Structure formats: C-alpha cells, structure tokens
Amino acid sequence: MTTEIKQMVEQIGTTFEEYKKTNDAKLEAIKASKVTGDMEAKLAKMDGALDSMTEIKAKLESMEIKLNRPGVFDTKGDSTSREAAEYKSAFINWTRKRGDQAPEAQRQLEAKAADVRTSTNASGGFALPEEIERAIALIGVDISPIRALATVRTVGTPDYKELFDINGAGFEWLGEPDTRNQTNTSDLAEVAPTFGMASAKPQATEESLDDLFFNVEEWLTMSAGDAIFAGEGASFVSGNGTKKPTGILAGPTPVTTADSSRAFGTLQYIAGGQASAMPTSPDVFFDMIYSLRARYRRNATWLTSKAVLSSIRKYKEATTNAYMWQPSLAAGQPASFAGFPIVEAEDMPAVAANAFPLAFGDFKEGYLIADRVGMRMTRDEITTPGYVKFYIRKRVGGKLRNTQAIKLLKIATT
C-alpha cells in the first residue's frame, strides 16, 4: 500500500508541474491577447485530474490506516473483551433472524457487555456493538472532514453545555510588598450545541441475510456510515439548529468587526473585493491569515469545496511569483495554500454573490461537536415484505465554540 501511495504522490507532483507551466503560458497569452479555449480546456482537465488523484491518495491512506489498526477485541483477554465479543456475535446473529427471535438473553448480554453505555426498553432497539460503531465513526471522519478538525466531545445528555472564557483571566506584575489588586473578572459565555437524531435505514432482502457469505457487518457499516455522515457533514457547515447541529455558517450574520469589539458567537469575514467572483489579488488571503490571532494561526486550516479549489490553485504570491497552492507530496499530509493545510469539504458553498466559500482558522478551537453515547438499531421486516430494514440512529450536536478562531472569505466588494 505504501508503494501505491508513493506512486500517487509522484503523479500529483508531476501533474501539478505541468499545470503550472500551462497556467503560466495562459497568463502570457492573456497579456498578448492570444489566450485560446484549448488552454482553458487543458487547465480544466488537469484540475479534474488533480482532484481525482488527491481523492485516490486520501482513500489509499485511509485504507492503509485501517489495515494497520490492531483488532478492537481480544477474545483471549479479560472478561470485558469476551463479553463485548459475545454481544457482537449475538447481535450479528440477530440481524439475520426474525425480530421476534431476539430473546431476553440478548438483552441481558447487552446489559453486561462493556460497550453498552445506555439502557433501552423493549421497543428501543439494540445498541450497536462498539466495534461496528467505531468502524462507522471512521467512515465519518472520511466523509465529514470537519469531524476530524473540530473539538469532539462524547456526552451522556443532550443538555450538554460548555462555559467559554471570552476575555481570559486578568493579569498584573507585582513586587513583594505591593498591594494585590483585583484583576479583571473573566467573562464567561455559554456554548450549548443543538442536537438532532441522525438516522439511516438501509434495507436488505431476506435471501441475502440468509446467505452465509453476505457480510452483514461490513454492509451495515458502509450503508449506515455513508448515509449518516453525509448528512452530518452538511449540518456541520450549514445546519440551522432545528433538530440538527448548528453549522459553522449558520450562526449570527458574520460582520467585518474585529475581535476586540465583535460580539461573542459572531464570525468575522474579509471581503474578497469582487461582487460575484473570487478575489483578483492574493492579498485578501493574507488579510484572512493575519486577522487571526497568532495562538489560533499555529493550528489553522483552510476549508473549502472542490469547486473553489480549482480557483485556489491559480493564485501566485505577488513578490515571488510562486504558486500559493502546493500539492501534498507526503503520505498523510493534505495540500497547502499560503503555507497552511487546505481541506476539502464538499458542503462548503460555491462562489456566488454574498457567499462564504472559504473558511480559515483553528477549527478545534472554533467548532464543537457533541456525540451522544452509543448508536442504536431497530430491525423491521414488516413494512416491506421480502425485505428487512435496519433503522440505525445516533444523536449528535454541534455549534460554533470560539468565533475568534475562524475567519471567512465573503464574495462581496465590502
């Protein structure tokens, strides 16, 4: 697998070198009023190739990580692992059988299995075994990149809240005999993520479940993971907070006011200078970078969609004429823009008037995701004869955490 990743990295580097030559030729042709549609088409084709190769590289890296990960359960180990493995085995058997064949013995297994952390009643379904739940969560990181960037808490109640110190504790220098003055009182603000039930309902035929070669665990993991985390990723960007997380772009309307005088909970934007297009000058991006405090800049990342990446790749620094976007030339590392990692999130807006297609900041400091403990599943073989539906759900919340840690690019003149 490592060899394949290395080969893909080399292909990305070679393609980008050709991309730069083509774009430089286009810029020279524009100066001479000779630009052709062929150049535009070639650049667009290479944009697509770079996108595809970057995606393949990311998938190869993800596969390698999963293959190298040690097993979750060791059935030869302590009683906790044995009980968890026993519960998983009972759970898989239950998925293949009729719903009324889930005996009380399985509920007793659920109660004592180490991975079960919440109770259920007779109609509440079963908790997913921890191994399957973890596998689904790994898919979530791949599909929903904000989950990998943000602060993620596991909580036991949807009433979870965090207190955030806006101004920090006061400070003063003192000599040994000096009077100790009362320093400024910290200003605490409450961050309460809004929650919703993320759910999916994959279905399989009764015949497939009877087939011993049908991998129920893998099928459930991929079907539920793809559906749940695709919706979750969208909500982390633009969710309105009604029965779902409140997204990064769904808080109070962003303003141009600086950190020192902006209301807590409101993001700052930097205007791109164009009414309906990306900025013409790269200076705007440096304005975004240096509008962020140094403490947040150290861990900052760009966040944008694939469509915007094709524009990002064409920017050059004014003084050095060097391309600001650089491909990932090392395994496990994202591409960079202006020296900072750039991560693709398909749910970020496209370029349009008054849109916010690009974010920059320390998302671990800036955005909070709260996962309610455990996923649950209910089996339904009644609704559609011949098919068995598996209703899988989890509760998740989200909200902006520290709005000084994230800056936005706005497609606007001011």
Residue 23 lies in a domain: yes
Residue 9 lies in a domain: yes
pTM of the model as a whole: 0.75
Residue 141 lies in a domain: no
Residue 78 lies in a domain: no
Return the pLDDT at 9.
76
Return the pLDDT at 182.
62
Question: How far is residue 12 CA from its own chain's centroid?
Answer: 23
The b-or-e profile of 198-208 (16+ CB within 10 A means b, else e) is bbbebbbeeee
Return the pLDDT at 72.
36
**d(C-alpha 66, C-alpha 58), whole Å:** 12
Using CA atoms, how far residue 130 sits from 14, 86, 87, 155, 223, in Å, is 43, 12, 10, 16, 17
Residue 56 lies in a domain: yes
| Residue ranges for the chain with pLDDT beneath 70 | 1-2, 35, 57-94, 96-143, 166-172, 180-186, 212, 331-332
Question: How far is residue 201 CA from its own chain's centroid?
Answer: 22
**d(C-alpha 411, C-alpha 269), whole Å:** 10
Domains in the chain: how many in total? 1
Residue 201 lies in a domain: no
Return the pLDDT at 179.
74
Residue 48 lies in a domain: yes
Burial class (CB in 10 A: 0-12, 13-18, 19+), 267: buried
CB 44, CB 52: distance < 8 Å: no
Return the pLDDT at 170.
62
Unique residue bearing structure tokens 């991006």: 285
For residue 36, the enclosing domain spans: 2-68
Average pLDDT value over all residues in the chain: 80
Name the nearest CA neighbour of 236 among 194, 281, 182: 194
Residue 210 lies in a domain: no
pLDDT of 263-304, one tens digit each? 999 999 999 999 999 999 999 999 999 999 999 999 999 999
Residues 6+ apart with CB under 8 A from 80: 114
